[in-house]
Amino acid sequence: MDNIKEKWSFGRSGQEEAGEEGEECGQRVRELLDVREGSMKPVKREYSGPLLWLRACHGPAETSRMSDKDKGGLPGAQHAVPPPKTSGAATGGQQLSATANQFVDKIDPFSKRGNSRRRRRPVNSSRYHGDNDPDLVQLPLIKDAPFNEQTALAIQKLQQCQKIFDFYDPVAQLKSKEIKRAALNELIDYITATKGAIVEPIYPEIIRMVSRNIFRVLPPSDNSEFDPEEDEPTLEVSWPHLQLVYEFFLRFLESADFQATIGKKHIDQRFVLNLLELFDSEDPRERDFLKTILHRIYGKFLGLRAFIRKQINNMFLSFVFETDSFNGVGELLEILGSIINGFALPLKQEHKVFLVKVLLPLHKPRCLSLYHAQLAYCVVQFIEKDSTLTPQVFEALLKFWPRTCSSKEVMFLGEVEEILDIIEPEQFKKIIDPLFRQLAKCVSSPHFQVAERALYFWNNEYILSLIEETSAQVMPIMFPALYRISREHWNQTIVALVYNVLKTFMEMNGKLFDELTANYKMEKQKERRKEREREELWRRLSVLEQQDIETLVKNPPQILSKTPMTAFIPPKQPGSGPANSTGPAAPTSGGTGSQGAGEKSPAAGKKSSSASTGSRDDKNDKTNEKSGENKS
C-alpha cells in the first residue's frame, strides 16, 4: 500500500500540468486507496507516474490503445499496456478489489474542464488536413526530355502538383513545397513558350490539378465585426502556391492552342459555380485572378454565358436581401460592366429586368462604398444602351436615397451627375420635378459636404445647358431653398457657392428671377403676418385665462349646497297613480276593425272610470279617519 502511494505521489507532477481534472481524479483514487487500505496489498506491476495517472483518468482499455506521444512522451516504442490482472502472479497471488478497479475504470476525464482555455489558432482563408503521403520526388526538366516524352512528363508534374501542403507550419515539408513551386513555374513556361503543348490528354489533368488546389471551403472571418473599409483583410496563407496555380490556369485559357470544344467537356456548370463561390475570399489578390479567369471563361464558352449571368444574379440577390455580406461584389460588377457593354440593341427584356430587380437594389447595403464605382458604371452603361430607362433609374435612386448617411448621399449625388452627363434633353424633362426637389433638399442639408456636392452640379457645362433650356421649371423649385440658405447657412463656403448659383439664375432669366424674388418676399411677409396674428391670439388667450383665474379667486364656487337633494326631484302630479296592471281587452275575431288604434272601447272606458271613482272613495275614507283621530 505504501508502494502505491509512493508511486502515485511521483505521478502528481503530470496531474498538476493537466489542471483541475487530474487533481480531482487523483484525489478520488487516494481516498479510495485509504478506504481499502486494510483489504489491498501493493501491486507489483511497474507503472510510472504519468502512466498511473493516465490509467486513473482514461481506464485500462483506453490507456492500452494510446501511443507513447499520447502518454505524455514516455520513452520507448509503441506498445500496448494490458489491463491489470485481478489475480495471479501479477498481483502477488492476491485478489484486487473489484470495486476499486471498477471505480478507476469508470472515471470520465471529459466530464469537467479546466480553467485554462486553449489558445485559439488563427484562422486563415483555407483549412488543411494533414496526410501521410510521401514527400515529392524531383522530376527531370521538361525541356531536357525528348519532344515525344514532354507531354507525359508534363502530366506527371501536373499530378505531382495536386498535393496540398499545410502552410500554417512554415518549416514543414520545405523540400516538397519547393519541388511543387518549381514544377508550377516550369509548367507555366512550358504552355506559354512551347507551341502545341496543350493537347487533348492534358486537359483533364489541368482541370483536376486546378480544382484540387483552388476549390476549398472558405471559413468565416476571424473578426465577427470585420469592416472592409477599416480593417485589413485576411490574406491567403498558401498564396505562394495558389498564385502560381491561378497564373498557370490563366495562361492555359489565354493560350492560342486552347480549344473551347475540348475544354467545355471539363469546364462545366459545376466548375463555374465553384469558381463563383471563391469570390467571397477576403484576399483581394485572389479575387483579382478570379475576375480575369471568369471573364475569359465567359468569352470562350458561349453555352455558359446565360448560366454565369443567372448565378451572378442569385448571388447579388442573396447579398442584398439575406446575408448583407459578400467580398466579391466589386469584381463581379466589373465583369458585368464589360458584359453590359457588349449587349446587342435593342435590349432584351431579361436585361431590363436585371437592371431594375438586381442592379438598382445594390444601392441599399451599407457597404456601398466598396463597389459603388463599378455599380455606377453598369447603370450608366444601361442608360447609354437605352435612354428610356432613365425615369426608372431615377425613381429607384430616389427610393433608395439615404436619409442619415451623408457619405452615401455624396455617392448618390456623384452617380446622378454621371447619369446627367449622358442624358438626352427629352428624358431630362421627364425627371426635372423629382430630381431638383431632391437637389433642393441636398442643398439645404446642414452637412456641408452634401450641400457642396449638390451645388457643384452648376459647374458642369452640359448640366448647366440643360437647366438653361428648362429654367422656367427648375428655378421655381430651387430658388426658395437657395435664397434661404444664402441667409441662414452656417458654412461660408456654401453661402459663397449659393451666391454663384443665384447669380447664374439671374443671368439665365432675369425677369423670372425678379418675379421669384418678389414672390418670395411676399410669402415671407405673409408668414410674418401669420406669425404676429398667432402671437396676438395666444396673448389674448393668456389674458382671458388670467381673468378667469382672478374671478375664481374672488368668488370661489360653492362646493356643498344647503339645498336638500330631494329638492331636485320633481313633485308628484295628482291622479298620476300607478297604471292598472290589467291591459285593454284583446279584440275579438268578430270585430269590424273600424276603430283606430288610439280609440278606446266602451268597456275599457267604463272600467277606467270605475277605477278612478274607487280611488277617490279610498282617499275620502282616509281623510275621514284622520279627522276622527284629530277630534278624539
- Whether 91 has a pLDDT exceeding 80, the answer reads no
Q: Are 161 and 208 in contact (CB under 8 A)?
A: no
> Which is more confidently placed, 269 or 604?
269
Residues whose CB is less than 8 angstroms from the CB of residue 615 and which lie 6 or more positions away in sequence, other chains included:
577
Let me know if residue 332 belongs to a domain. no
Q: Are 146 and 53 in contact (CB under 8 A)?
A: no
User: Picking from 30-34, 232-236, 589-593, which range would have the lowest pLDDT averaged per residue?
Assistant: 589-593
Q: Are 485 and 498 in contact (CB under 8 A)?
A: yes
Residues whose CB is less than 8 angstroms from the CB of residue 49 and which lie 6 or more positions away in sequence, other chains included:
7, 8, 10, 11, 12, 13, 14
Let me know if residue 495 belongs to a domain. no
Q: How confident is the model at residue 26 (pLDDT cuts 50, 70, 90)?
A: low
User: Picking from 20-24, 155-159, 466-470, 567-571, which range would have the lowest pLDDT averaged per residue?
Assistant: 20-24
Q: How confident is the model at residue 132 (pLDDT cuts 50, 70, 90)?
A: low
Domain extent, residue 86, equals 2-105
Q: Over the stretch 522-552, which tens digit does the pLDDT of each residue have?
A: 888 888 888 889 999 999 899 888 888 888 8
Let me know if residue 170 belongs to a domain. no
Cell of 540: 389674448
What is the 3-state secondary structure of 476-507? HHHHHHHHHHHHHCCCHHHHHHHHHHHHHHHH
Let me know if residue 30 belongs to a domain. yes
Length of the chain counted residue by residue: 632
Let me know if residue 47 belongs to a domain. yes
> Which is more confidently placed, 147 or 616?
147
Q: Over the stretch 193-233, which tens digit does the pLDDT of each residue have?
A: 988 899 999 999 999 999 999 999 887 766 666 666 677 78
Q: How many CB atoms lie within 10 A of CB 152?
A: 13
Residue 59 Ramachandran class (φ > 0 left, ψ -120 to 50 alpha, else beta)? left
- Whether 116 has a pLDDT exceeding 60, the answer reads no
Q: Are 186 and 178 in contact (CB under 8 A)?
A: no
Q: Over the stretch 590-604, which tens digit does the pLDDT of each residue have?
A: 444 444 444 444 444
Q: How confident is the model at residue 1 (pLDDT cuts 50, 70, 90)?
A: very low
Q: How confident is the model at residue 86 (pLDDT cuts 50, 70, 90)?
A: very low
Let me know if residue 405 belongs to a domain. no
- CA 87 from centroid of its chain's CA atoms: 67
So what's the pLDDT on residue 236?
85
Q: What percent of the chain has pLDDT over 90?
A: 46
So what's the pLDDT on residue 523?
83
Using the Cα atoms of residue 69, residue 72, residue 78 and residue 81 in order, give the sign of their dihedral.
negative
Q: Over the stretch 361-409, which tens digit does the pLDDT of each residue have?
A: 999 998 899 999 999 999 999 999 999 999 999 999 999 999 989 999 9
How far, in Å, are 375, 386, 396, 422, 460 from residue 382 at the CA level? Answer: 11, 6, 14, 11, 22
- Whether 286 has a pLDDT exceeding 50, the answer reads yes
d(CA 407, CA 194): 52
Let me know if residue 75 belongs to a domain. yes
Residues whose CB is less than 8 angstroms from the CB of residue 79 and which lie 6 or more positions away in sequence, other chains included:
none
So what's the pLDDT on residue 319?
94
Q: Given 3-state DSSP classes, what are the helix, strand and coil percentages for the chain, each rounded to the nearest 5?
A: 65, 0, 35
The identity of residue 326, as a single letter, is F
Q: What is the pTM of this model?
A: 0.64
How far, in Å, are 293, 363, 375, 477 from residue 319 at the CA level? Answer: 22, 12, 14, 38
> Which is more confidently placed, 322 or 172?
322
Let me know if residue 34 belongs to a domain. yes
d(CA 450, CA 432): 20
Residues whose CB is less than 8 angstroms from the CB of residue 499 and which lie 6 or more positions away in sequence, other chains included:
486
**Of the candidates 485, 510, 518, 511, which has an alpha carbon nearest to the alpha carbon of residue 499?**
485
Q: Are 56 and 100 in contact (CB under 8 A)?
A: no
Average pLDDT over residues 250-258: 94
User: Picking from 86-95, 366-375, 494-503, 561-570, which range would have the lowest pLDDT averaged per residue?
Assistant: 86-95
Q: Over the stretch 475-493, which tens digit does the pLDDT of each residue have?
A: 999 999 998 998 888 889 9
Q: How many domains does the chain have?
A: 1
